[in-house]
Amino acid sequence: MGPSGGLPASARSGPGEPARRVRSLRMDDDDSLRTDIAFALADACWRHAIAEHLGAPVPEEALTPPEMRGEPDTALRLAYEERRRAFEAWRRARGLT
């Protein structure tokens, strides 16, 4: 084995490498804004289509099957509730509620 320990270049880490990896994982601000807007618009259109189809708006909980929410006090339920709170905050921040 050579000085790299036989690891591929992508697996080797030198000074500053972790910071370079983090920077490369960050989304471009314009892309982030564009995708936020695209998602907000698609979500609003989808919810509107559901309300028109059913004759009334549908609460978020009705859009997620019970088996995907988990039983009370389980990791799945806790994760679902956290996601639901974050999603509601995201919608409120964009005036979508």
CB 83 within 8 A of CB 60: no
SS3 annotation, 45-88: HHHHHHHHHHCCCCCHHHHCCHHHHCCCCCHHHHHHHHHHHHHH
Using the predicted structure, report yes or no on whether residue 67 has a pLDDT greater than 90.
yes
CB 70 within 8 A of CB 76: yes
**Using 50, 70 and 90 to split pLDDT, how confident is the model at 2?**
very low
Average pLDDT of span 49-63: 90
Helices and strands counted in the chain (H then E): 4, 0
Using the predicted structure, report yes or no on whether residue 55 has a pLDDT greater than 80.
yes
**Using 50, 70 and 90 to split pLDDT, how confident is the model at 26?**
low
